[in-house]
């Protein structure tokens, strides 16, 4: 048994680490580690907790389902709890599950099981009342989910009405929403082509409002499906297509279903999509055989599976079998081993992050074709690089340049190096020595106590600065369209951008120095920079790049302190009053605001007129939650700009006209939305009336508009408005 103190420390650090990985997976839909690595961490935590029950906590990730809650969606309670499944990684684990279950239900005989694919998608719960879809929820925290009913139509095989003679009064049905692999491939191909086109367009000055840079590259179909369910933008949603499969019942009234083996047929009779592959097994040994059979077949499915689910067939025994706070005891999930491939590590390169962290990256080639520098094909994607995380990891696995290694991928794009094959090692190979100096600026690297990461702490390291500027301008921070990696790199190497405050001093002459940059690109970029000054406070806080302060913490700080000045002046006590903010973040924030250089940059941002106040203190209250719906094509701006403007003044944009709609902005002579608005007496605004309303909103938000300057309508592709002097302006900043 581990030493008590060490075990306690390890448990607490594992809990923190796992909680953060869960958040990245569930909320950001951007996993940082492979599923297999995540499972290993969770197992380690569970083993430690089992050995040290004195450290039990109901808050531990081993006891809770996690949470996918996002802002922008109403929270609703599930009719019955939406649980997760326990995992089995070996036949031993399966036997233990079977024994526990037989004990719980008092059976000495072999149990009848159903084995089915474990779909790697996003969990959903649909409620039908008298055959009509009344709501669609995400899992949320298992008790309360996000209401995503308004996005239900993106799931193409989800019926809004059930069919057949056996329709239950209430049916709460659980399943998985996923993107078919064929659809995902098309989506990525489209996205990659659009990215390439946009790079080109950006340099040629033709960028339009639908720049695909606003899109984000998703690592795998699961993340894309989960992200799609939570889309707020109907236009983007309209281009996506998901499917669902249902596999379990939450609550049912007015009909009865007794066996899991009959569930798929029952659901199909109602018109609900359900799993096509399932097998019946007598006893756990046979269940294992079926799991192996499924493994051979699952590669032919058009969706990703990360395992098999073994379920007790007789549903009348479920209550006897019981539940833990996290799983039912009548089912378990078998996790298949992720796909692996053999590679040669022909080099280890170093990346410098925006906080100075040095990340070693393995440059890979197919081990069978040594020296040809060809990528290896793994689960359908070509792989040529893998992150090695940090130098401890390299030392622990004794990874050397020239080694042959096994890499593993469980649905993600970035694979992990799992192990080195010592039998393939060349005789003259040498241990890899961690670098002493920053590969970009040459200054000495340091290692903070308790951290595995080596850092460059030179505040003037050009690579760190470049990355910080890219981060500041990125979509998740100040969202400056057109100021991506390529443009920042050129401006930085010309010495025009030294830090992100310099962004606000850029002028057209500076931008013309960028290779092939045309007038239109320059105008658009200057507009985007002006526009970014009004961003919410949390975006600015996140954009500052304070080490360890991610999007969540930035939002918490903005909410708690309401202004950048109060945040900057906050002491240890005020910072630690915010729940979820740990010591590491607090220390980092205090350090950050002690630096004279950081304070100088912030002052320059202030002088440039950036918004330093939380949303509610500035413009957000002007439209006070009013719901706008658009119909027809506006001549002055694209839909996404109209939406952004409405939302920036605290309004909301709905998709269909209903009783709760406040305004229909109509740019068309006739439409069904217009008819419906007339029917319901919803106020209809012409495009000019809408523009006048925006102008008024801007005045009340205190953004200084000269009253005699009437905004002229610009050509659509400008996406913003032009003032009378012909300069690009969004109502004159
Ligand atoms: S049954 C009480 N069957 O995997 C839980 N779940 O890792 C009943 N999943 O929470 C779930 N395919 O979201 C079940 N065929 C299947 C599944 C499946 C995917 C998901 C589900 C579950 C998670 C556990």
C-alpha 64 – ligand 1 centre gap (Å): 15
Asked if the model's pLDDT at residue 656 lies above 90, the reply is no
Of 313, 309, 308, 322, the residue nearest 282 (C-alpha): 313
Position 205 scores a pLDDT of 41
pLDDT band at 615 (very low <50, low <70, confident <90, very high): low
| Numbers of helices and strands, H then E, in the chain | 23, 24
With a cut of 70, say whether residue 703 has pLDDT above it: no
**Residue 409: strand pairing partners:** 339
Which of helix, strand or coil describes residue 385? strand
Per-residue pLDDT band at 439 (split at 50, 70, 90): very high
Dist CA 113 CA 305 (whole Å): 19
Query: Residue 708: what pLDDT?
Result: 36
**How far is the C-alpha of 15 from the C-alpha of 20, rounded, in Å?**
9
Local structure of 5: helix, strand or coil: helix
Pocket-forming residues, ligand 1, beta carbon under 6 Å:
83-85, 116, 118-119, 123, 176, 247-248, 275, 309, 328, 331, 333
For 450-492, how does the pLDDT look when each residue is reduced to its tens digit (9 = 90+)? 777 899 988 789 999 999 999 999 988 999 999 999 999 999 9
Name all domains of the chain by residue range, CATH numbers in brackets.
2-63 (1.10.287.610), 77-180+241-335 (3.30.470.30), 340-424 (2.40.50.140), 462-532 (1.10.150.20), 537-607 (1.10.150.20), 615-733 (3.40.50.10190)
Q: State how beta strands 132-138 and 122-129 pair.
A: antiparallel
Exposure string of 298-324, with b = 16+ CB inside 10 Å and e = fewer, is beeeebbbbbbbbbbbbbebbeebeee
- The rounded radius of gyration (Å) of the Cα atoms in the chain is 28
pLDDT tens readout for residues 297-355: 998 898 889 899 999 999 999 999 998 888 999 999 999 888 889 999 999 999 999 98
Q: Helices 284-297 and 91-105 sit at what angle, rounded to 10 degrees?
A: 130
Substitution candidate for ligand 1 out of 116, 176, 261, 287 with most atoms within 8 A of CB: 176
Least confident stretch, 377-386, 506-515, 546-555, 593-602: 377-386
pLDDT surpasses 90 at 117: yes
Query: Could you tell me the distance, in angstroms and rounded to a whole number, from the CA of residue 407 to the centre of ligand 1?
Result: 27
Rounded to whole angstroms, how far apart are CA atoms 371 and 110?
A: 55
The C-alpha atoms of residue 63 and residue 491 are separated, in whole angstroms, by 50
Atom 16 (ligand 1) nearest CA? 118
Residue 416 pLDDT exceeds 90? no
Pocket test for ligand 1, best of 309, 327, 328, 335 (most atoms within 8 A of CB): 309
CA distances from 618 to 118, 397, 565 (A): 47, 53, 15
- Rounded Cα distance between 114 and 530, Å, is 60
Q: Specify whether 118 is catalytic.
A: yes
Q: Note the pLDDT tens digit of each residue in 44-60.
A: 898 888 888 888 887 78
Active-site residue (options: 118, 290, 335, 534): 118
pLDDT in tens, 233-248: 888 888 899 999 999 9
Whole-number pLDDT of residue 491: 96
Distance from the alpha carbon of residue 243 to the mean position of ligand 1, in angstroms = 16
Residues listed for the chain: 733
Cβ atoms 412, 381 nearer than 8 A: no
Which comes out higher in pLDDT, residue 715 or 108? 108
**Which residue has the CA at smallest separation from atom 12 of ligand 1?**
118
CA of 278 to the centre of ligand 1 (A): 14
Q: What are 170-219's pLDDT values in tens digits?
A: 999 999 999 998 888 888 777 767 655 554 444 444 433 333 334 455 66
The whole-number pLDDT of residue 58 equals 78
Alpha carbon of residue 3 to chain centroid: 38
Mutate to test the pocket of ligand 1, among 247, 328, 411 (most ligand atoms within 8 A of CB): 247
In angstroms, what is the span from residue 85 Cα to ligand 1's centroid? Answer: 6
Burial class (CB in 10 A: 0-12, 13-18, 19+), 427: exposed
Q: How far is the CA of 190 from the centre of ligand 1 (A)?
A: 31
Q: What is the pLDDT of residue 704?
A: 37
Mean pLDDT of the chain: 85
Taking the C-alpha atoms of residue 369 and residue 364, their distance in angstroms, rounded to an integer, is 11
CA distances from 669 to 631, 640, 666 (A): 10, 21, 8
The candidate with the shortest Cα–Cα distance to 112, out of 282, 263, 261, is 282
Q: How far apart are CA 18 and CA 39, in angstroms?
A: 10
Alpha carbon of residue 299 to chain centroid? 26
CB 127 within 8 Å of CB 79: yes
- pLDDT (mean) for 277-284: 96
Identify the CA nearest to 310 among candidates 326, 330, 285, 327: 330
- Which is the closest atom of ligand 1 to the Cα of 87? 7
Highest mean pLDDT of the ranges 126-130, 302-306, 721-725? 126-130
């Amino acid at each position: 048994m581990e030493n008590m103190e060490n075990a306690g420390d390890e448990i607490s650090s594992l809990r923190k680490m796992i909680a953060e990985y869960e958040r990245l997976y569930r909320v950001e839909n951007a996993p940082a580690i492979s599923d297999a690595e995540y499972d290993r961490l969770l197992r380690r935590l569970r083993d430690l907790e089992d050995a040290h029950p004195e450290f039990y906590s109901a808050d531990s990730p081993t006891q809770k389902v996690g949470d996918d809650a996002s802002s922008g969606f109403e929270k609703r309670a599930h009719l019955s709890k939406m649980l997760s499944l326990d995992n089995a990684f070996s036949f031993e684990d399966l036997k233990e599950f079977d024994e526990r279950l037989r004990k719980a239900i008092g059976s000495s005989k072999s149990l009848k099981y159903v084995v089915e694919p474990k779909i790697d998608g996003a969990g959903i719960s649909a409620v039908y009342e008298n055959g009509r879809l009344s709501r669609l929820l995400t899992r949320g925290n298992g008790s309360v989910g996000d209401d995503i009913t308004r996005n239900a139509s993106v799931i193409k095989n989800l019926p809004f009405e059930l069919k057949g003679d056996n329709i239950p009064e209430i049916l709460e049905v659980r399943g998985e929403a996923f993107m078919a692999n064929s659809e995902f491939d098309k989506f990525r191909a489209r996205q990659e082509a659009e990215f390439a086109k946009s790079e080109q367009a950006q340099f040629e000055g033709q960028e339009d409002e639908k720049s695909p840079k606003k899109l984000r590259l998703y690592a795998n179909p699961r993340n894309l499906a989960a992200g799609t369910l939570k889309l707020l933008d109907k236009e983007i949603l309209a281009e996506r297509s998901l499917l669902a499969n249902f596999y379990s019942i939450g609550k049912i009234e007015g009909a009865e279903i007794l066996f899991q083996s009959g569930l798929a047929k029952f659901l199909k009779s109602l018109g609900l999509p359900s799993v096509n592959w399932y097998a019946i097994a007598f006893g756990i040994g046979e269940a294992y055989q079926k799991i192996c059979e499924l493994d051979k077949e699952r590669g032919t499915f058009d969706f990703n599976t990360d395992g098999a689910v073994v379920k007790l067939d007789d549903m009348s025994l479920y209550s006897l079998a019981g539940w833990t706070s996290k799983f039912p005891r009548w089912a378990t999930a078998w996790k298949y081993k992720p796909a692996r491939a053999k590679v040669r590590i022909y080099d280890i390169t170093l990346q410098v992050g925006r906080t100075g962290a040095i990340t070693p990256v393995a440059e890979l080639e197919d081990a069978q074709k040594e020296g040809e520098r060809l990528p290896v094909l793994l689960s359908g994607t070509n792989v040529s690089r893998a992150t090695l995380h940090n130098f401890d990891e390299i030392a622990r696995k004794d990874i050397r340049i020239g080694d042959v290694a096994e890499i593993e991928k469980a649905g993600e794009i970035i694979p992990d190096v799992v192990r080195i094959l010592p039998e393939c090692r060349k005789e003259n190979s040498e241990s890899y020595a961690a670098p002493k100096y920053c590969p970009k600026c040459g200054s000495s690297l340091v290692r903070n106590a308790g951290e595995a990461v080596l850092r460059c702490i030179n505040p003037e390291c050009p690579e760190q600065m470049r990355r910080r500027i890219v981060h500041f301008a990125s979509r998740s921070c100040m969202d400056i369209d057109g100021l991506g990696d390529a443009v920042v790199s050129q401006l930085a190497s010309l010495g025009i951008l030294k830090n992100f405050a310099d962004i606000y001093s850029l002028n057209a002459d500076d931008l013309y120095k960028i290779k092939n940059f045309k007038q239109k690109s320059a105008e658009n970029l200057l507009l985007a920079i002006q526009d970014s000054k009004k961003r919410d406070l949390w975006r600015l806080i996140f954009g500052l790049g304070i080490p360890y302060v991610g999007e969540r913490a930035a939002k918490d700080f903005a909410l708690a302190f309401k202004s950048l000045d109060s945040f900057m002046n906050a002491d240890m006590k005020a910072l630690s009053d915010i729940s979820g903010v740990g010591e590491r973040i607090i220390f980092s924030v205090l350090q950050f605001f002690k630096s004279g250089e950081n304070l100088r940059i912030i002052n320059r941002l202030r002088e440039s007129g950036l918004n330093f106040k939380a949303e509610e203190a500035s413009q957000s209250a002007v439209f006070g939650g009013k719901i706008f719906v658009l119909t027809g094509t506006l001549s002055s701006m694209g839909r996404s700009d109209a939406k952004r403007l409405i939302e920036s003044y605290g309004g909301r944009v709905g998709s269909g006209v209903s009783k709760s709609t406040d305004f229909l902005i109509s740019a068309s002579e006739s439409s069904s939305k217009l008819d419906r608005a007339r029917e319901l007496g919803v106020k209809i605004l012409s495009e000019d009336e809408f523009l006048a309303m925006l102008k008024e909103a801007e005045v009340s938000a205190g953004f200084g508009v000269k009253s005699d300057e009437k905004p002229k309508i610009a050509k659509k592709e400008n996406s913003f408005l032009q003032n009378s002097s012909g300069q690009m302006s969004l109502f004159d900043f």
